[in-house]
Amino acid sequence: MRMPPQPLTLDGLTHGYGAGLAVDNVTLEVRGGELVALLGPSGCGKTTLLRIIGGFVTQISGSVIIGDRRVDSYPPNQREVGVVFQNYALFPHMTVAENIAYGLAARGVSKALQRERVAEMLATVQMTAFAERKPRQLSGGQQQRVALARALAVRPRILLLDEPFAALDKNLRLDLQIEIKRLQRQFGLTAILVTHDQDEAMSIADKIAVMNKGRIEQLGSPIDIYDDPSTLFVNSFIGSSNLLAGTIERLEAGTFGVRLDNGAFWPVASNRSFARGDAVFASVRPEQLTLATAEAPGRFPVNHALSLPIGGMLLHDVRETNGAKLKVAEPRVPGTSLSMGGAAWCGLAANARPSLFPRP
């Protein structure tokens, strides 16, 4: 019997000592079966938040609700929360099979049932051949699979993943990300992933909560977060972007006419409100800019310094006339060689959607 996916609610969680709060009034609703990534720089409070959910840290105010239970007074061993730690935390003196059976044994499950479940979990993570090995005889990726199997063997209500891929090399990381996503779907688990790696969050999370200074700055799907960052912090943390200073010159329905400091005029759609004369930043992703040889409305003059071929893209490093650096990414036309250097005109690519932020 499998439990239906359990929703998770964080209600006004606060934690911290002294002046700075590690977690500052965080409220988050995670639907059953969803994988939410807590993404942010180190020290943003994401790990503390995870530890509060796991019961290892007690918040000074607010609540954690798993399913229909308020678990604030529950110690970690009664929360039914599976945790995969960054260093895997496998028990070094036990075999792989004993590690996986541990949670079941702690709950007093019969030996026969333990054996059955261990075999099932070993098969699920494709580690059957390694059942009798000790953790130190396994590679990082294999240890990770065992840690996952051990956490899932007890059928937790929630799965917490604390930077689970940080110690793995890049190729293996992708394999395991797919693996974790698959298992999380298969088990219908609500999961929280803590990471500082935006690519990781983008690739496996259903939703991303971008955290900064103990608060959630934005919660949304990876695409929303990338295309429509709600704050300057989220904008600069996710992907790379160019910030162009400008002033609101014209107001139309839902569209702002922005006069950039470099002289170009861009009409930009935004659901934020600005008044005429407001100082703003227009943020554009490198792939939303394009280089041209001729002047046209919306284009501004740049000096083309350097082009780097990055896979199928060309990344141009260009300078505005005042010296400010911009990054422009364009699809590379196969077979063409690089044309380097010289003056050019930079403008918005077709379908580009710059974001506007108030400029302090």
Partner 1 sequence: MFQRTTPSDISYAVVLRLLAGLGVLILVGPVLIVLITSFTTSAALKFPPPDLSVRWYVELFDRTRSAHIHTAAGNTLWVASVATGLGTLMAVMAALSIARVNRPAARALEASFLSPLILPTLAYGLASLMLFALLGFRPSLYHLVLGHLVVISPFVFRTTLASLTQLDPSLLESSASLGASRFYTFRRITLPIIAPGVAAGAFLAFIASIDNVPVSLFLSNARTSMLPIRMWGMMESTLDVRVAAISGVLIAVILILMIVMDRLVGLTRRMGV
In three-state secondary structure terms, 102 is helix
Q: Which is nearer to partner 1, 92 or 323 (CB)?
A: 92
Q: Is the Cβ–Cβ distance between 69 and 78 less than 8 Å?
A: no
Instruction: Based on the shown chain and the rule CB under 8 A, indicate whether residue 58 belongs to the binding site for partner 1.
Output: no
Shortest separation between residue 85's beta carbon and partner 1, angstroms: 5
Instruction: Based on the shown chain and the rule CB under 8 A, indicate whether residue 80 belongs to the binding site for partner 1.
Output: yes
Instruction: Based on the shown chain and the rule CB under 8 A, indicate whether residue 103 belongs to the binding site for partner 1.
Output: yes
Q: Report the distance separating Cα 194 and Cα 205, nearest Å.
A: 10
Instruction: Based on the shown chain and the rule CB under 8 A, indicate whether residue 55 belongs to the binding site for partner 1.
Output: yes
Q: Which is nearer to partner 1, 30 or 90 (CB)?
A: 90
Instruction: Based on the shown chain and the rule CB under 8 A, indicate whether residue 140 belongs to the binding site for partner 1.
Output: no
Shortest separation between residue 166's beta carbon and partner 1, angstroms: 13
CA 24 to chain centre: 19
Reference 221, options 244, 196, 246, 238; nearest CA is 238
CA 349 to chain centre: 27
Pick the binder of partner 1 from 8, 151, 161, 314 (CB under 8 A). Answer: 151
Residues 258-287 interacting with partner 1 (rule: CB under 8 A) = none
In three-state secondary structure terms, 336 is coil
Instruction: Based on the shown chain and the rule CB under 8 A, indicate whether residue 56 belongs to the binding site for partner 1.
Output: yes
Reference 190, options 77, 89, 67; nearest CA is 67
The pattern of x and - marking residues 159 through 178 that bind partner 1 according to CB under 8 A reads -x------------------
Q: Which is nearer to partner 1, 103 or 222 (CB)?
A: 103
Pick the binder of partner 1 from 4, 17, 18, 93 (CB under 8 A). Answer: 93
Would you state the structure tokens that stand for residue 336, as one six-digit string?
């063409």
Residues 284-343 interacting with partner 1 (rule: CB under 8 A) = none
10 Å CB burial of residue 18 (0-12, 13-18, 19+) is: exposed
What is the helix (H) or strand (E) element at residue 29, kind and residue range? strand 21-30
Q: Which is nearer to partner 1, 106 or 279 (CB)?
A: 106
Q: Which is nearer to partner 1, 81 or 329 (CB)?
A: 81
Shortest separation between residue 52's beta carbon and partner 1, angstroms: 13
Pick the binder of partner 1 from 85, 213, 332, 345 (CB under 8 A). Answer: 85
Q: Report the distance separating Cα 201 and Cα 211, nearest Å.
A: 12
Neighbours of 29 (CB within 10 A): 14
Pick the binder of partner 1 from 4, 18, 75, 277 (CB under 8 A). Answer: 75
Size of the site for partner 1 (CB under 8 A): 28
For the chain, how big is the Rg over CA atoms in Å? 25
Pick the binder of partner 1 from 3, 89, 131, 167 (CB under 8 A). Answer: 89
Long-range contact list for 49-55, CB < 8 A, 24+ apart?
49/10, 49/13, 49/23, 49/194, 49/211, 50/160, 50/162, 50/192, 50/194, 52/13, 52/15, 52/23, 53/8, 53/10, 53/81, 53/158, 53/160, 53/192, 54/79, 54/81, 54/83, 54/160, 55/79, 55/81
Shortest separation between residue 132's beta carbon and partner 1, angstroms: 18
> Which residues of this protein are in contact with partner 1, per CB under 8 A?
54-56, 75-83, 85, 87, 89, 91-93, 102-103, 105-107, 150-151, 154, 156, 160
